[in-house]
Structure 1
Amino acid sequence: MSLSDLPEGRATLKVTVKQAPESYHTDSTLDTASLLSSPSSSRDDIFTRHRSWPDPFEIPRFSYDVELQLKRGNEAYEENGTLLNIRKDTKSEILDKLAEAMYAYTAYPSREEYDIVAQSLIRKHPCLREPGSAKGWYCWKFSLKFKMGNYRNKLRVAGCSQLQVNRSSSGPKQKLKKAKKAEVSFLPDFPEGRTQNVMEEERLAIIEAMKKKKADMKKVNEMMVGTFSLRRKYIVEQQPPVAEVKTKWPALFTEIQIEAEFTRITSADLSGSLFSGLEQHLPRVMELYRARIGSCPELKKVLSMLDDDNSNQMKRAVILRGLPYFLREDPSKFLRSTEATETGQHGEGHECRHPSGKRRRGAS
């Protein structure tokens, strides 16, 4: 499990640097080689996104002549502060490369993400600073916005499903679903070498597997990952009712697949983000609960749970249990918990995690 478990002097690490075909640069040493691939090093990232936006943003390598210009320009800037008089074609290539690298994370960057890219560009190549600008990167930010729009249009014309679905049809006005800011991979194209017929066969295999008394969930999870693009195409473009989705994708409604699908779409951990959000607001919510004890005796009973256990896990449970009383809602319709063990579809009791962090058997 750890390199320290091996005999001293026997642990080795092999690093293989894969160079992009269009690049003219070759690294002579591995001293500065990063073990993390750059955003533009993998062509598959254009179709499937699974990473959050980096800060600072890793600026990709440009063509050899542009890199040579930037190298000379940075040297002159360090010597006497001279800025590079950049040509139009050079600027266009820089923006093209940056747009491709940004699209590997999201097709619709936010204002803050544009800021991060522009700042990272100036930080790596200070000779590109804008004369007379306080920050030196404002114009680069606006140029990136226009270039990103042109890049999306280029991919839309080329047949990119994610971008084509965001345009209204020429017939009746029916605006299809557009990716939200948190959705980094809401409509990916089919992976290379995998056709719709192949994934449809896997979908039918998932249905048959879920009918078994004891399904092989490891195999089901693998097939759910492989059919992600087919499933998103069906849900986004056809917008079916939930009952129909449950019939065609029964595994999608299991607890593990709900979290896994959320991660595939947003690259975020569902339960992890929930608990981290609860802990972030713990002190303030506790103050609000205590301030309303006089008008809501039920909150006093919920807060008394902390007398015996003042851990973060119990505080999470207190916040969730007290929420319906604080909002003046019916607790029976707001939260449901379970204590008993029930037999599920596959002959096993479903295990759920209580807000306090304790594991319980049963269905919720």
Structure 2
Amino acid sequence: MLLIPDPKLKSDILEGLIQEVVKYTVYLTDKCAQSLEKMRVKLLSDVKKRNNRETIRAKMDRTFALRRQEVIYDAPMMSNVQARWPALFDAMEINAEFKRITTMPLQSRFLSQLDLLSERLLRVFAKRSGEQGKKLKDIAAMMTDDIDAGRESLIKGLCIYLNENPDVLVQEYMVSVL
């Protein structure tokens, strides 16, 4: 007989599983943590250098356990994570970190899910009225057969739907990339 648990039971099972995995998969000893901390400090200077992507990627791979331990046990504020691990906030490194954690590529996964949900999102956008509805209808009208333009329109539409300014989102991204 096939068991189909309700969402609450499934959530409880997954939460318990996460707690058990966390207990047994962090293998850092004090000596190892000290070594990784030294590597993290060197990484801070490497981030400031140009054309250093491969070195940064390698050090971020090696320091994953330290980063994971800090996040799980210390639960630092985002500003502290950003100060200690500035390389983590690079677009390529975000993709790499997601893959380290989930073994799936973030960007292609996100875009494929966006493509799958595009029709439903357009239906949700069409149900809005007022000023927000007008903006969403204008964005939906701009969608073409060009897949990149369609994805861009959907993301802008999501920003508007969530009462965010899509122009500010792009500006924040550009500032962080530069």
TM-score by length of 2: 0.72
Aligned counterparts of 1:223 and 1:196: Cα–Cα separation in 2: 14
Write the mapping of 1:121-132 to structure 2, written as runs, cut at 5 A: none
Q: Rate the CA distance shift 1:294–1:189 in 2: closer, same or farther, 3 A.
A: same
Aligned counterparts of 1:314 and 1:293: Cα–Cα separation in 2: 24
Q: What does residue 36 of structure 2 align with? A: 199
Q: Rate the CA distance shift 1:311–1:332 in 2: closer, same or farther, 3 A.
A: closer
1:331 aligns with 2:165: yes
1:192-227 per-position Cα deviation (integer Å, ceiling 9, x unaligned): xx8223222211110121233x25121111011011
Q: What does residue 58 of structure 1 align with? A: none
What amino acid is aligned across from residue 337 of structure 1 in structure 2?
Answer: V
1:224 aligns with 2:60: yes
Give SS of 1:221's match. helix
Larger radius of gyration: 1
Aligned counterparts of 2:153 and 2:170: Cα–Cα separation in 1: 14
Task: Tell me how far 1:230 sits from its aligned partner.
Answer: 1.4
Q: What does residue 27 of structure 2 align with? A: 189
Task: Tell me how far 1:326 sits from its aligned partner.
Answer: 3.6
What amino acid is aligned across from residue 218 of structure 1 in structure 2?
Answer: E
In the alignment, is the contact (CA less than 8 A) between 1:162 and 1:189 conserved in 2?
no
1:154-182 per-position Cα deviation (integer Å, ceiling 9, x unaligned): xx8xxxx8326xxxxxxxxxxxxxxxxxx
1:234 aligns with 2:70: yes
Q: Rate the CA distance shift 1:215–1:241 in 2: closer, same or farther, 3 A.
A: farther
In the alignment, is the contact (CA less than 8 A) between 1:289 and 1:299 conserved in 2?
yes
Matching residue within 81, 97, 107 for 1:271: 107
Aligned counterparts of 2:75 and 2:54: Cα–Cα separation in 1: 28
In the alignment, is the contact (CA less than 8 A) between 1:202 and 1:227 conserved in 2?
yes
Aligned counterparts of 2:89 and 2:111: Cα–Cα separation in 1: 21
1:316 aligns with 2:151: yes
Task: Tell me how far 1:255 sits from its aligned partner.
Answer: 1.5
Give SS of 1:245's match. helix
Write the mapping of 1:143-162 to structure 2, written as runs, cut at 5 A: 162=22
Aligned counterparts of 1:199 and 1:269: Cα–Cα separation in 2: 25
Q: What does residue 107 of structure 1 align with? A: none
Task: Tell me how far 1:229 sits from its aligned partner.
Answer: 0.8
TM-score by length of 1: 0.38
Q: What does residue 247 of structure 1 align with? A: 83
Task: Tell me how far 1:280 sits from its aligned partner.
Answer: 0.8
In the alignment, is the contact (CA less than 8 A) between 1:206 and 1:223 conserved in 2?
yes
1:301 aligns with 2:138: yes
Task: Tell me how far 1:305 sits from its aligned partner.
Answer: 1.4
Give SS of 1:281's match. helix
Report the structure, 1 or 2, having the larger helix content: 2
What amino acid is aligned across from residue 301 of structure 1 in structure 2?
Answer: D
Q: Gaps (5+ residues) in structure 1?
A: 1-110, 113-144, 165-186, 345-349, 351-362
Give SS of 2:170's match. coil
Percent same amino acid at aligned positions?
24
Q: What does residue 283 of structure 1 align with? A: 119
Relative contact order, CA 8 A, sep 6+: which one is greater?
2
Q: Gaps (5+ residues) in structure 2?
A: 5-12
Task: Tell me how far 1:260 sits from its aligned partner.
Answer: 1.2
1:303-327 per-position Cα deviation (integer Å, ceiling 9, x unaligned): 2213xx3222222122112224445
Question: Number of aligned pairs?
Answer: 160
Task: Tell me how far 1:247 sits from its aligned partner.
Answer: 2.2
Aligned counterparts of 1:325 and 1:196: Cα–Cα separation in 2: 44
Give SS of 1:284's match. helix
